[in-house]
Amino acid sequence: MGNILFIAFLLVVGYSLKFLKLPSDFGKSLNLFIIYISLPATVLLMIPQIELNSDLLILSLLPWILIIPMAFFAIYLTRGMDKNIRASLLLLLPLGNTSFVGIPLIEALIGKVATPYALVYDQFGTFLMLSIYGTSVIAYYQHGKVDVLLIAKKIVTFPAFIALVFALFFGEMPKPMIPYIENLSNTLVPLAIIAVGFALKIKVESHKKIFSQAIAIKMLITPILAFLILSLFDVEKIVFDVAILESAMPFMITATALAINAGFAPQFSASLLGYSIVISLFSIPALYMLLGNF
């Protein structure tokens, strides 16, 4: 409980920083440090600790399977509506905040032993989905075509993905380097949550019905579907728990930023992100308590 309260405190700190006269690119600078330093350091530390097996394959494939019903919901909810609302939901519903919010919350609830599994879900699932599926949605609704070369470039140049490939091939880092990498990795949770708080936007101005429906689908229906899918397989308990929790994470910050930059209902997209993050501070711990009964 103490760790969850600490995360809530950091979220408030981040949101409070909005009222100070900080440089306009402060939030971007935080995100860049996390993307280029904190997350790759965490990947280098954690990935060598896990053993490759069929459970990890299922863990990686789950978010890809969930794309299908999430895309269906996005199309169904937005029938007859402006194409920008549809593009926003097609981008946001399948993509969860499985790193900036997911890793801190899972560490707080389960412990660092769960972090490698959260990274597998995030890197092989959410990140690749953002790079392939997310980029395709943006390209289609902006230009009417998909740029395969751009997608490939986004994947192979993403710092955490480079660290992931390095860790898979070379294994554990040399012992003299580990304390320094740990120091960098320890910045992930506080900076990520502060960055999330700084990006929060709460006000809902329009499309309130579809707004509440999207929140319910993302944070209630998605984990139920994940539970039903995973129940078909005999996976380790920690893999099961991590997968369910990651599937229930709020909307992704990066996907929201891309939706806003692309003009896909900016205020609607930003509000979805803000409300879902606040709700996740209560819904994710509650979901973890429910999982304890299975």
pLDDT tens for residues 38-49?
A: 888 888 887 787
Q: How many CB atoms lie within 10 A of CB 158?
A: 20
Which residue is it, tokens 């032993």?
Answer: 113
Which residue is it, tokens 């509650």?
Answer: 286
Q: Is residue 14 part of a domain?
A: no
**CATH value at residue 45:** 1.20.1530.20
Q: Is residue 19 part of a domain?
A: no
Per-residue pLDDT band for 165 (boundaries 50, 70, 90) equals: confident
3-state class of 96 per DSSP? strand
0.85 surpassed by pTM: no
Model pLDDT for residues 102-133, shown as the tens digit of each residue? 888 898 899 888 988 998 898 888 888 887 88
Share of the chain above pLDDT 70, in %: 95
pLDDT for the residue numbered 66: 95
Tokens for 198? Answer: 């700084």
Q: Is residue 4 part of a domain?
A: no
Whether residue 247 has pLDDT greater than 90: yes
- Rounded mean pLDDT of 148-152? 75
Q: Name 251's bridge partners.
A: 96
Q: Is residue 200 part of a domain?
A: no
Give me the number of domains the chain comprises.
Answer: 1
Q: Is residue 12 part of a domain?
A: no
CA angle 51, 98, 69 (to 5 degrees): 100
pLDDT for the residue numbered 253: 78
Q: Is residue 10 part of a domain?
A: no
Q: Is residue 176 part of a domain?
A: yes
Whether residue 206 has pLDDT greater than 70: no
CA atoms of 251 and 130, how far apart (whole Å): 12
Which residue is it, tokens 């509000």?
Answer: 271
Q: Say if residues 193 and 9 touch (Cβ distance below 8 Å).
A: no
Per-residue pLDDT band for 294 (boundaries 50, 70, 90) equals: low
Q: Name 50's bridge partners.
A: none
Q: Domain containing 161: what range? A: 25-190+207-291
